[in-house]
Amino acid sequence: MLFHLCIHTAYQNSFFGIRFLCDIHNTIRYHEIDWDILFHRAHQWKGEKVVYLVLYLARDWLAASVPEKVLEQFKPDDFNLELVAKTKEIITKDTDPRIIHENIARLWMPNKSFREKLSLFLKKIFLPPEKLAETYHAPKNSLRVYFYYPVRLKDLLVWHSGRVWRMLRGDKEMQALMTQETRVAMLIEWMKSK
């Protein structure tokens, strides 16, 4: 259960708010945790970084009873306190970063080259035909699937154009949201890296 709470905290909640840390703290407090199983499960699902960061924060902010040896076992080689500072900024902001889709935020990430941003943009429009068929409930083996690419482009424009337009115009609220979501996207990239 603790592993799933850690994953949910990072990927579903995007570290929004402190409530998730309270859930982690109470789970550790009221349940006997088999740390070896947690480590095995995290390793099996390549979630060691996520688990480490969440346990570190729960221990740091709420004094959760996470043994030092457990933290040492999970600690990634590329961990640094700057990641903790960014995560704390995300937690304490009153803007929900989930309002902005992470792929839009990735287009504004300063550490991405134009080529990487263009690649991301094209991959979001031109999904594999199987995924496109699944998204639009079309027959997978039919050539009609390819007619859904213009529909996909139109849908993306409708869904995201307002936010992108506000961002390009320099809307302060939207820029704050983008900054927040960019932090989340960078954090998620770190958690997914090897």
Q: Give me the DSSP letters along 146-183.
A: GGHHHHHHHHHHHHHHHHHHHHHTT-HHHHHHHHHHHH
Contact residues for 27 (Cβ-Cβ < 8 A; gap 6+): 1, 2, 5, 33
pLDDT (tens digit per residue) in 111-163: 678 888 788 788 888 889 999 999 999 998 889 999 999 999 898 888 878 87
| Cα→Cα distances 175→40, 109, 159, 172, 191, Å | 40, 12, 18, 5, 24
Global pTM exceeds 0.95:
no
**Which of the two residues, 163 and 5, has the higher pLDDT score?**
5
pLDDT (tens digit per residue) in 51-79: 999 999 999 999 999 999 999 988 999 99
DSSP state of 98: G
